Chains A and B, each alone.
Chain A
């Protein structure tokens, strides 16, 4: 039964959902008898861990903050997060060196998952990118060119929109007031473009990046990519304690994620999830954990 950060994203039958909003009896995507299936939760408990440390595991398929005793599925069997932390090379100071097993990952199946609701994914992305602007909500975007405002921008704001460019690569979208316009219909391709628009453009073509602090957007993005079945790879930079996370498209799905960083972190509370049946695994932030 993993104890996860409350902002961890799991995939419910209706789509991505925060660990903190799960309730007993809910079903989340996992692995049952070696097959991808929904796992019913027998208990969901909020644990106050103030003063204690959790473990932040970063891989090229996703990252997760979990309790030190929580088990994660690796190529060498189940390992606790505390075990992974202990595999760091203690003689390496200010560096991230260690001999870690690969982590079992779920990044989708090459196509949108049957049952995935594209319009709901768009709505969740929109809500995560939304913030306060002058007298209206705006959506922060980082890699939307002026040419894409009409199509992808309109999809994000739900109608005709305008964009204000800002410093350090950010811009903001808002709906044009006083002009009734029909919201474009969301497609899987459109949602993918909207997701990438919320990230900042990286240095190279096809590379996107996000400040590490924007965790909710990053973790939701992972779930949306899995729902869309779009393969991707992540890179956390710099390794000793990342400042930003890079996202790049890849050609094939990865089922074994490489660990890049394992760090102790302070956290206020965790959500402890336990499956109703034994021998199940659940998928959180696209990484497989023992339930």
Chain B
């Protein structure tokens, strides 16, 4: 039985460790808002590989749409022996993968009507864009749409949580394609086209 090589220690955020420990780590990268150091280039590479494996586990099977803080916490919880000086680097990698296309995002609004990014695994992109087109088309045809009505139109892969449909509704509101009459702070249970009668 072969034994895999021990993994190199994870990189750490310089600001979160002692100067002595930081000085002992020769390879430096900028990761998000932090300066990070590790023993070697390979340590950064293997750390990213592990993070990506856990990000995939967090976002697929079933498919999930998560906020960046939620995804970061989910990744950290799945890894062993992650100290805060390392977990603080996860945000930077998430932003990096969004830029590189491994992760995709949907700009949407929360129940408090403030904008945020909903993150999902990149390969789900066509499903999400198809779902947005379906919801928008149904909205235009029916002039208003409830969460339950929209859910009946969407593929099961997006329906792990009904909140995913709310994320799609939020996206259309964020872009000004739909309005809603729900008060801030409560679930966005319905949307409508402008000038349509409110549905309560």
Contacts and interface: CB of A to CB of B under 8 A. Distances in A.
Interface of A: 89, 91-97, 131-136, 138, 140, 142, 164, 166-168, 170, 172, 174, 211-214, 240-241, 243, 263-266
B98 to A, nearest CB: 5
B116 to A, nearest CB: 10
Contact of B194 (A91, A133, A212, A214): A133
Interface in B166-196: 173-177, 179-180, 192-196
Contacts of A213: 107, 175
Contacts of A166: 173, 176, 179, 194
Contacts, number: 104
A93 B96 contact: yes
Given A94-B92, A131-B194, A140-B176, 9 more contacts: A93-B44, A93-B96, A133-B193, A134-B143, A136-B195, A167-B173, A241-B99, A243-B117, A264-B101
B32 A93 contact: yes
A136 B195 CA distance: 9
B95 interface: yes
Contacts of B100: 264
A133 B95 contact: no
Contacts of A241: 95, 98-99, 105
14 contacts: A93-B36, A93-B96, A94-B31, A94-B95, A95-B92, A95-B95, A97-B30, A131-B194, A164-B195, A166-B176, A170-B179, A174-B195, A243-B107, A266-B101
A93 B44 CA distance: 10
B176 A93 contact: no
Interface string B38-52: 000000100010000
Contact of A92 (B29, B91, B107, B117): B29
Nearest to B137: A132
B127 interface: no
Nearest to B192: A134
B30 A91 contact: yes
Given A214-B175, A240-B95, A240-B96, A93 B29 contact: yes
A17 B194 CA distance: 29
Contacts of A138: 194-195
Contacts of A168: 109, 113, 115, 173-174, 176
B96 A94 contact: yes
Contacts of A95: 30, 32, 92, 95
Given A93-B92, A164-B179, A166-B176, A263 B194 contact: no
Contacts of A133: 193-196
* A-B pairs, 4 with minimum CB distance: A94-B95, A94-B92, A170-B176, A172-B194
A93 B99 CA distance: 10
